[in-house]
Structure 1
């Protein structure tokens, strides 16, 4: 998803354009990694000094509901990233240091479970946490 597609989606669903919404979406596009509400507030505080966590969280919730962002929980905190540009089934490796995510093309659930009897799987999520090559702690 591009910034323009995200803004158009909001417009098409009747949500008004605001500079704060555009700025948040542009930050996710630029950073290309998982971000917390705290990260967003830090990036936006200079331009919007009165910005509150309530405003950040309201917009994050809206963006997630609109499938602009996807979320996960890490260390008890909800973090967000731009929705993947592919609809192909995949999972993620997520760096605990920088928040960048990488696709895993195979599905571990297939190897573990296969197709269970008398049960239709409609969705699942599988994430692996660790450190990317740039962030690996020195040994």
Structure 2
């Protein structure tokens, strides 16, 4: 997903184009990592000093509902990033410091599917691995 694709999708679904929405989406395009609503609010405040947390969160929820953004939870807080552009099934490694992600193409469901209980129908799954990217890990070593 990118800004133009997201704005086109919003337009197709009848949502208004606003500068705030475009700027929110631009932040995700620039950062390429999971971001909290607080980080998005901070990024908008230079151009929109009166923007509220509710406005930011409402738009993030809309973007999630429209599958423009993916969501995860880190440290008890919802974090968002652009929905992956790839159509193939994958999961993510997520850095706990900077929020950057890396795709993982292996899926534990392949193992689980072969052992699936016939009394349980799987309708979806999510697999994320948390840790520290090389840069953040190096920074931790230097500060320790």
Interval containing the TM-score (normalised by the shorter chain): over 0.9
2:36 is the counterpart of 1:49: no
| Residue of structure 1 equivalent to 2:82 | 82
More helix by share: 2
What RMSD over aligned residues (CA atoms) do the two structures have, in Å?
1.3
| Residue of structure 1 equivalent to 2:125 | 124
| Residue of structure 1 equivalent to 2:3 | 3
| Residue of structure 1 equivalent to 2:38 | 38
In structure 1, list runs of 5 or more residues that go unmatched: none
Q: How many residues align structurally? A: 139
What is the TM-score normalised by the length of structure 2? 0.91
Residue 135 of structure 1 aligns to a residue whose secondary structure is helix
Mapping of 1:57-136 within 5 angstroms? 57-112=57-112, 114-118=114-118, 119-136=120-137
In structure 2, list runs of 5 or more residues that go unmatched: none
